[in-house]
Amino acid sequence: GFDTESGISVAWCELKDRNISNEERKRFFEEANMLKKLDHPNIVKYFDFFELQIENRQSKYILITELVPSGTLKTYLKHFTTVKEKIFKNWCRQILKGLFFLHSRNPPIIHRDLKCDNIFINGADGSLKLGDLGLATNRRAEFAKSVIGTPEFMAPEMYDECYDEAIDVYAFGMCILEMATGEYPYMECSNVAQIYRRVSQGIKPEALDKVSNEVVRDIIERCIQHTKAKRLTIKDLMKMDFFKEEEKKPPLDNNLASDVTFSIKILNTVHDEPWNIRLSMVFNEKTVDQREERVIDFRYFYLFDTCQSVLSEIIDTNILPQNLSLEIFSCIEKYIEQLNTAKRESETNKEIFSDDPTGTSKTILPSSCLHIPIKLGKRLIKVSMFYGDRDLNRNLKKKKSIGEKDS
């Protein structure tokens, strides 16, 4: 659906009246109100809820939630059977962050039905959100003491109707198992009774034998321990080296950017609109092999652009180190000033200006330059980088440039 007040697309979830009692109706509104207060990037946002009267004195209970357009993690796993370890870890971290948020509420909130079908993915940025929290409840609620969930992901204590947030850790282990193998836990069972018998006896799913990564297998086994006291906690999992986030490396080590040579030139003429400008930076190192050069071709619309706006867009792409922003700004500003002067003079003298007004030597891209076409918006045309190793040509002959399509 579409929320006309906020102007955003939303999901409309209907819960049909199954002749629920007044007590159950009261609990629904209590839980819906609880869900509405939750606000976390890895939890599907619940905007509103209400009761809708229909025929024969029946009611529908409506939940209005955030719309996650790319579907569930389950659907993704059906289409992409192999998941890279980096993506796998990123998914796990996001699930853990969502669970940690729920479990850190006062009182703790238990999801109770965590599975890949209830984890939604945003294909645009790869973010995950825990959804279908209709069964979630706080640990102190009596409503939690009931057998509700998906058998393949249910911890053994759920059948005893007495459990806490440790059941979400168990379900998380089963989610990892499905992500690692592409198989639903206990696929070898033909009915719910068989699943219950294996779970209650502490028999692990056969899919566990298909997990080739020993670290992942160990994590799964420690999450799905039959005795909940032996399971890892969400905090334990988040502290594990396997799930720690990798440190984001800057585009260039700031310590290596102390000696930089700039050159800048126009690629068309001052009479063209926009100006196509090439900015080249050579990061000089102790040895030739360590030298790095970055070349950026960008457009400058002289009628309305400013040096600051151009610089901001270039810096935002994370192509250049921010510690050089002043030097880059000064370089662009001086050059644009000279271009404006040259344009005015050429219009006065009716001359076509096309040479480099700075008098600097022309920037020639060497044959070993690696062109990287990336989506940079309307401003940037191309980014090129090359390194001191002149043998790069041999590698480029064997390997296509990044972003180049197969013929």
> Is position 362 within any domain?
no
Question: Higher confidence at residue 251 or residue 376?
Answer: 251
Query: Among 116, 238, 136, which Cα is nearest to 179's?
Result: 116
> Is position 358 within any domain?
no
pLDDT at 230 over 90: yes
| Catalytic positions, written as ranges | 132
Looking at residue 133, what is its pLDDT? 78
Do 183 and 272 share a structural domain?
A: no
Do 232 and 135 share a structural domain?
A: yes
Question: Higher confidence at residue 196 or residue 138?
Answer: 196
> Is position 284 within any domain?
yes
Looking at residue 209, what is its pLDDT? 96
Picking from 193, 224, 243, the residue at the C-terminal end of a domain is 243
Rounded distance, CA 306 to CA 202, Å?
Answer: 68
Rounded distance, CA 338 to CA 358, Å?
Answer: 7
- Tell me if 264 sits within 8 A of 277, measured CB to CB: yes
pLDDT digits (tens, 9 = 90+) for 11-25: 777 766 566 677 777
Do 62 and 78 share a structural domain?
A: no
pLDDT at 256 over 70: no
Burial class (CB in 10 A: 0-12, 13-18, 19+), 54: exposed
Looking at residue 349, what is its pLDDT? 65
Q: What is the average per-residue pLDDT within 113-137?
A: 83
> Is position 351 within any domain?
no
pTM of the shown model: 0.59
User: Alpha helices of 54-163 — where are they, by DSSP H?
Assistant: 73-79, 85-103
Picking from 243, 278, 305, the residue at the C-terminal end of a domain is 243
The DSSP secondary-structure symbol of 66 reads E
Picking from 225, 243, 261, the residue at the C-terminal end of a domain is 243
H helix count then E strand count, the chain? 10, 13
Do 263 and 204 share a structural domain?
A: no
Mean pLDDT over each residue of the chain, to the nearest integer? 74
Count up the domains in the chain and report the number. Answer: 3
Q: How far apart are the first and last CA of the chain?
A: 42
Looking at residue 388, what is its pLDDT? 45
Those residues with Cβ within 8 angstroms of residue 305's Cβ, 6 or more apart along the chain or in another chain: 274
Looking at residue 328, what is its pLDDT? 72
> Is position 78 within any domain?
yes
> Is position 361 within any domain?
no
Looking at residue 187, what is its pLDDT? 94
Rounded distance, CA 112 to CA 138, Å?
Answer: 10
The DSSP secondary-structure symbol of 156 reads G
Do 156 and 116 share a structural domain?
A: yes
> Is position 180 within any domain?
yes
> Is position 374 within any domain?
yes
Q: How far is CA 363 from the centre of its chain?
A: 37
pLDDT at 380 over 80: no
Share of the chain above pLDDT 70, in %: 66
Q: What is the average per-residue pLDDT within 295-324?
A: 70
Do 392 and 314 share a structural domain?
A: yes
pLDDT at 404 over 70: no
Looking at residue 41, what is its pLDDT? 92
> By residue range, what is the domain housing residue 262?
252-344+368-401
- Tell me if 129 sits within 8 A of 68, measured CB to CB: yes
Do 161 and 267 share a structural domain?
A: no
Rounded distance, CA 32 to CA 134, Å?
Answer: 8
Do 77 and 59 share a structural domain?
A: no
Looking at residue 393, what is its pLDDT? 32
Do 223 and 100 share a structural domain?
A: yes
Do 156 and 130 share a structural domain?
A: yes
Q: Which of 91-105, 110-124, 287-301, 356-370 has the highest mean pLDDT?
A: 91-105
Rounded distance, CA 111 to CA 169, Å?
Answer: 10
The residue with tokens 């999450």 is 223
Do 14 and 128 share a structural domain?
A: no
pLDDT digits (tens, 9 = 90+) for 64-115: 888 887 789 998 888 777 788 988 999 999 999 999 999 998 888 999 999 9
Do 120 and 93 share a structural domain?
A: yes
Residue 285: pLDDT band by 50, 70, 90 thresholds? low
Looking at residue 334, what is its pLDDT? 81
Looking at residue 291, what is its pLDDT? 63
Residue 116: give its domain's CATH number.
1.10.510.10
Rounded distance, CA 115 to CA 131, Å?
Answer: 10
Q: Six-digit token pair at 286?
A: 């102790």
